[in-house]
Amino acid sequence: ESELSPRGGEFEMMPLGVNKSPLPKEPPRKDPPPKDPVIETIRNYFPETWIWDLVTVNSSGVTEVEMTVPDTITEWKAGALCLSNDTGLGLSSVATLQAFQPFFVELTMPYSVIREEAFMLKATVMNYRPTSLRTGVQLEVLIVTLVTQVGSEQISYCLCANGRQTDASWVNPKSLGNVKFIVSVEAQNSRELCGSQVATVTETGRKDTIVKSLLVEPEGIKKEHTFSSLLCASDAELSETLSLLLPPTVVKDSARAHFSVMGDILSSAIKNTQNLIQMPYGCGEQNMVLFAPNIYVLKYLNETQQLTEKIKSKALGYLRAGYQRELNYKHKDGSYSAFGDHNGQGQGNTWLTAFVLKSFAQRRAFIFIDESHITDAFTWLSKQQKDSGCFRSSGSLFNNAMKGGVDDEITLSAYITMALLESSLPDADPVVSKALGCLEASWETIEQGRNGSFVYTKTLMAYRFTLAGNQEKRNEILKSLDKEAIREDNSIHWERPQKPTKSEGYLYTPQASSVEVEMSAYVVLARLTAHPAPSPEDLALSTGTIKWLTKQQNSHGGFSSTQDTVVALDALSKYGAATFSKSQKTPSVTVQSSGSFSQKFQVDKSNRLLLQQVSLPDIPGNYTVSVSGEGCVYAQTTLRYNLPLEKQQPAFALKVKTVPLTCNNPKGQNSFQISLEISYTGSRPASNMVIADVKMLSGFIPLKPTVKKLERLEHVSRTEVTTNNVLLYLDQVTNQTLSFSFIIQQDIPVKNLQPAIVKVYDYYETDEVAFAEYSSPCSSDKQNV
């Protein structure tokens, strides 16, 4: 029988009553049969989609590709699309493959729970053999981070032919992190009868083991702080100190920190090219952050002779996937918009179309790009050009920081002209020539503006005139920008005078806004794109800005949002190429606590692109980072912790409630409605694009049709359902309250349900954020905020 008990304070496992018939017993055998070698199947790979690949076939139209079947017991359905210059498009009939074994175990559990919640863990053993089996089931629970077993139980019972048996237990996680559940079921040799039948065992397929992981999360709101530095040592040792502090209300045991060392300024971005920002990628602009940076990585590594076949293959794969994905957002007239052509009702976006045109044109050297897409985008943009040479705005501009220049028209025209020049269009092209005339005529107005008024527009124009080869105008604009630069801590950057004010009470300096990173990166590009090569003065000034930019990077190598990540990585790659040295410099880095912890890293040619990392044991604590030898290293410390939801003064008013508000079913509320009310209370007339991120209660899933239905509303551009969250994309939010609601339902029973967090934030001004929480109507500590 099942017997489960607390194990080391990490887990509590409580048995449920399982309907098991008493097992008839016989006297034990005098001579037990010898044990045969057990052939065990271990299953731990359960993807939702198995194959999505591009395969080249020969003239026969036939090819063979070897694949390993995933571990899911299911029937897979496959289809193929083929393209031919002679016969066009072909669509195959559906082929099926059944992945099956007659004796196996299935595990039912949630994706994640919050500490202190208890969930029902179900293990179901299936016997599709024509004879009865006596089975032994063993459950092990491992804390993966500690690699120590904290719970184990073993039970045995009969399983009839074509029968199944389910065992269920309540599991109450006590430790944070990834927890691995391992369940093994084995057919056992025995003379005991299973009812009136003799249990039989075959030579193969006797033991099946399934491995699944559970994420145990701390309660509260996740916080992350990243501290990055570009450290260059010569003869003398260079050091800097770092204090990891925690607020007094930090959630117990939630703090984690690690220190990373890289020998290359792009190492982190190279490692995380598909995960540069911790934000959703559901629109046409956001997709470009998965697409565009790969080209800078390829160019940089190729110029510095560090490009390997493995990195090249990976980057080209991402480029092809991003290119195909971006075509989903193309309109019939050749333009592009954030959410595509909604049945012909959408309008192309001038800014995004220029961004796509530039990106596609630059990638022709690396992957196949259909020229018609480039021609269509250019033709559409040329139709948006006015007689003055400037461009009219079309479509929604979700980042309203671009509206801070002389007017939308000049700032937008500067960006489009820059994109055309980066697409290798000559100055003599009529569209480009007229655009240059527009900007030259506008410069006097921009220059005479009050201090800092048009700094964003100036940075765009500085880079634009650099690309056009107009050194005189470039130098004039850079001189003007130099007067508006912010110089502090041996670094240089630029800010908007109208930028939103930061909230008081920050423990650490917040990451710079997207537009400030973008502006500063454009100045670096203007300085480093000079022909034939940047001057020593340009390199020196760029170094100051690069130091500031690296301090704004997140833990994945990206920045605050999409456009700033694309532009800043372009700037970092150009700076890295301009300062790259092939010398055998081997700087060493030591991170040391005020206590006994110390870890040394060696950086050389062989591990230059490798991300070396170590966990920091003392939080809070003081650390010293020292660099000796000769050369530059990129050091980064990441601190993560959780805070309870507290009263705040956010930029959004957010209310969350459930319907019904209170429990109307004594057995529990298996399905209920979540309602959101959102309005903007910040310093601007309206927000940029806003993301509403609703985390699911543990064991609950959204009713997808009720989420999809929200896309019919005026301000909802898109919805997404991820593993544990529902995302709503709102084109903008004003002081007028917007209301949304959808239904969630229980998938797996969970006791002691903890509240779930709802987060609403401006996609481009990520400091403008609001949090609320909601609970199940039947939670004992119910609270809707």
Q: For residue 729, what is the domain's CATH number?
A: 2.60.40.690
Structural domain tally of the chain?
A: 3
Q: The tokens 């939801």 sit on which residue?
A: 645
How far from the centroid of its chain's Cα atoms is residue 298's Cα?
21
Which pair of tokens denotes residue 244? Answer: 């990891």
Q: For position 34, what pLDDT does the model report?
A: 52
Which residues on adjacent β-strands are paired with residue 134? 158
On whether residue 73 sits in a domain, the answer given is no
Q: For position 110, what pLDDT does the model report?
A: 92
CA angle 558, 643, 772 (to 5 degrees): 90
On whether residue 612 sits in a domain, the answer given is no
Residue range(s) defining the domain that contains residue 428: 330-476
Q: For position 586, what pLDDT does the model report?
A: 83
Strands (E), 478-564: 486-488, 491-493
Which pair of tokens denotes residue 578? Answer: 């301009």
Q: What is the distance between the alpha carbons of residues 276 and 297, in angstroms, rounded to a whole number?
A: 13
- The answer to whether residues 207 and 346 belong to one domain is no
Which pair of tokens denotes residue 415? Answer: 């960006």
Residues 6+ apart with CB under 8 A from 271: 557, 611
- The answer to whether residues 466 and 344 belong to one domain is yes
Q: What is the distance between the alpha carbons of residues 401 and 515, in angstroms, rounded to a whole number?
A: 7
| Residue 41 CA: distances (Å) to CA of 180, 185, 203, 207, 590 | 17, 10, 13, 6, 45
On whether residue 76 sits in a domain, the answer given is no
Which of 434, 450, 476 marks a domain boundary?
A: 476
Q: Contact, 558 vs 564, CB < 8 A? A: no
Q: What is the distance between the alpha carbons of residues 745 and 673, in angstroms, rounded to a whole number?
A: 9
Question: Can you tell me whether residue 148 is helix, strand or coil?
Answer: strand
Q: For residue 370, what is the domain's CATH number?
A: 1.50.10.20
Span 56-115, pLDDT tens digits = 888 787 888 899 999 999 999 999 988 888 888 889 899 999 999 888 889 999 999 999
Which residues on adjacent β-strands are paired with residue 694? 726, 758
What does the CA dihedral 243, 248, 252, 254 come to, rounded to 10 degrees? -40
Q: What is the distance between the alpha carbons of residues 619 and 246, in angstroms, rounded to a whole number?
A: 8
Q: What is the distance between the alpha carbons of residues 351 and 413, in angstroms, rounded to a whole number?
A: 9
H helices, E strands: number in the chain = 14, 36
Q: What is the distance between the alpha carbons of residues 27 and 464, in angstroms, rounded to a whole number?
A: 91
**Would the pTM count as exceeding 0.85?**
no
Q: For position 403, what pLDDT does the model report?
A: 47
Residues 6+ apart with CB under 8 A from 45: 70, 71
On whether residue 447 sits in a domain, the answer given is yes
On whether residue 660 sits in a domain, the answer given is yes
Q: What is the distance between the alpha carbons of residues 267 and 270, in angstroms, rounded to a whole number?
A: 5
Query: At 190, which amino acid appears?
Result: S
Q: For residue 186, what is the domain's CATH number?
A: 2.60.40.10
Q: Contact, 769 vs 222, CB < 8 A? A: no
Smallest CA-to-CA distance from 373 within 388, 382, 360 is with 360
Which of 425, 449, 476 marks a domain boundary?
A: 476
Q: Which residues of the chain have pLDDT under 70?
A: 1-38, 132-155, 189-193, 195-205, 277-282, 342-345, 397-408, 449-453, 498-506, 584, 666-668, 780-785
Q: For position 780, what pLDDT does the model report?
A: 60
On whether residue 548 sits in a domain, the answer given is no
On whether residue 258 sits in a domain, the answer given is no
Which of 459, 476, 493 marks a domain boundary?
A: 476
On whether residue 494 sits in a domain, the answer given is no
